Structure 1
């Protein structure tokens, strides 16, 4: 509605809307998170978590309002799914921008349970936001370099164990777990630095995903594979979204049944580990082909 306004007006307006929405939601969830800390009773925590999820849904709606208020987006959605809002789903997606979080939340807010994201551990210490994400039981992941693992072998598999413990908390309430499997936003420089074999993607990190699927076992009904593209805004889609210049979004959504190929002990079962890596490589190859042919 306001996309006709110049970017220097829309930018502070968008930022203000995002900050106000996030601050209000973080404050309200933070109160319930403190109650979860002070009253460690499973039944009470169950209902407090439901309250946190309801408020989180409000955050998704606020982001969707900002997106539509500031931008006039043409959506090109290729969707072959039949989703269940009362089930458990793992959403895997390529990661190009902070705008991905807004868009994925908008796409699924009325079709799937409130999403939980795999977050970098540093976000735990962001005032209000970190407490709110903890209250929502979101997994905080540490990324260790090869050098760190060589110096401290006991760190190997620690982030995977964190994913498993976090996902175990989702057993009682229908949940969507969103995993940007590449672990970082795609840029051509990162692709070269990491020697990614893909043209439009970074190499996916399979361990955390495998452990998350294994943690919920039979409860995960399906994997929802999402591929995002910003054909007119490839360089800086988040900034363009805030300034009303996001014009077109392409989305491919497909369901992948959870079978023995995705469910197993990634750390101890080497044949399963190889099979899981091959499966995820195939998924990423298809994603890269979709992005190459768009």
Structure 2
């Protein structure tokens, strides 16, 4: 990476920071108003908050285009609506995935709400903004923790349900990285993943969200992200060390067989896992095709 790229990266970071402070300020202000026990006020504030967040992303896109432009090769389905509820799933390789998804879908579908790890609420500025925007914060418990304190069992399910209750008042896009963590070769080998490019999908969070939002969410947006050269870090991204990314989108109706009681209905649980594994097999095949298309000899 050249010195000029590093200087551009530092300048881009400052621009992103200023933009974040500018938009987080009204977001936090309206989130305080949203605490008032009035349904109409809460609904109004939710629209204002999402509008501020969309503007935040739009300015970020301008910064990217000006300082470190990235070409996004978008294939697949591209007909969206801001008036529908969506369940969005994607493979996960880098923090840059989130920025790519926001750029692809900003102002095309309702603002993306990510399931985040509980620890991320402590990220300066962003943690508060995510909380104000009703991003669900999930706390995962290890087997040892559950054995020590059985009362924790099912707590994550309850958190998911409470979070999804907030999503019923206006259209929303619920985003879930179902692998649960970012892909790397070490994790891939440790899991003994049956997929070439992916980690094993975790069905629970998606199943609980679909169950909680069953009467609202009817459409699945399945996103495959592929970096032709290398998976970039955030620093490499803002320094302009990423020229191109390929994004494939498939939009399908969510069948009734994917909505049920994941905790108590064993047959449904097995069926849901099988369906998700099939989606992941298809995604693995798409990533292989994207990789092969990247290496086609020029005519």
Give the TM-score, by structure 2 length.
0.91
SS in 2 for 1:220: coil
Structure 1 range deviating more: 4-13 or 256-265:
4-13
Question: Superposition pairs for residues 246-257 of structure 1, below 5 Å?
Answer: 246-257=242-253
- Looking at structure 1, the residues matched to 23 and 268 of structure 2 have their Cα atoms a distance apart, in angstroms, of 41
1:85 corresponds to which of 70, 82, 85: 82
1:182 corresponds to = 179
- Looking at structure 1, the residues matched to 143 and 46 of structure 2 have their Cα atoms a distance apart, in angstroms, of 36
Unaligned runs of 5+ in 1: none
1:15 corresponds to = 13
1:47 corresponds to which of 36, 44, 49: 44
1:33 corresponds to which of 31, 39, 42: 31
2:255 corresponds to which of 254, 259, 272: 259
Pairwise CA distance, 1:284? 0.9
1:275 corresponds to = 271
2:72 corresponds to which of 75, 98, 122: 75
2:287 corresponds to = 291
Unaligned runs of 5+ in 2: 291-299
Pairwise CA distance, 1:210? 0.7
1:133 corresponds to = 130
- Looking at structure 1, the residues matched to 21 and 187 of structure 2 have their Cα atoms a distance apart, in angstroms, of 32
2:54 corresponds to = 57
- Looking at structure 2, the residues matched to 58 and 263 of structure 1 have their Cα atoms a distance apart, in angstroms, of 34
Structure 1 range deviating more: 94-103 or 58-67:
58-67
Question: Superposition pairs for residues 97-246 of structure 1, below 5 Å?
Answer: 97-234=94-231, 236-246=232-242
- Looking at structure 1, the residues matched to 275 and 121 of structure 2 have their Cα atoms a distance apart, in angstroms, of 32
- Looking at structure 2, the residues matched to 151 and 60 of structure 1 have their Cα atoms a distance apart, in angstroms, of 43
- CA separation of 1:48/1:121 partners in 2, compared to 1, >3 Å: closer, same or farther? same
Give the TM-score, by structure 1 length.
0.92
Pairwise CA distance, 1:176? 0.8
Q: Contact 1:89–1:177 (CA<8 Å) still a contact in 2?
A: yes
Per-residue CA deviation, residues 179-222 of structure 1 (Å, 9 max, x unaligned), is 11111111111212333222221211111111111111121120
Q: Contact 1:30–1:128 (CA<8 Å) still a contact in 2?
A: no
Q: Contact 1:89–1:223 (CA<8 Å) still a contact in 2?
A: yes
Pairwise CA distance, 1:81? 4.3
- Looking at structure 2, the residues matched to 132 and 206 of structure 1 have their Cα atoms a distance apart, in angstroms, of 27
Q: Contact 1:190–1:202 (CA<8 Å) still a contact in 2?
A: yes
Q: Contact 2:207–2:258 (CA<8 Å) still a contact in 1?
A: yes
Q: Contact 2:178–2:203 (CA<8 Å) still a contact in 1?
A: yes
Count of equivalent residues: 289
Pairwise CA distance, 1:104? 0.3
Pairwise CA distance, 1:127? 4.0
Pairwise CA distance, 1:275? 0.7
Pairwise CA distance, 1:77? 1.5
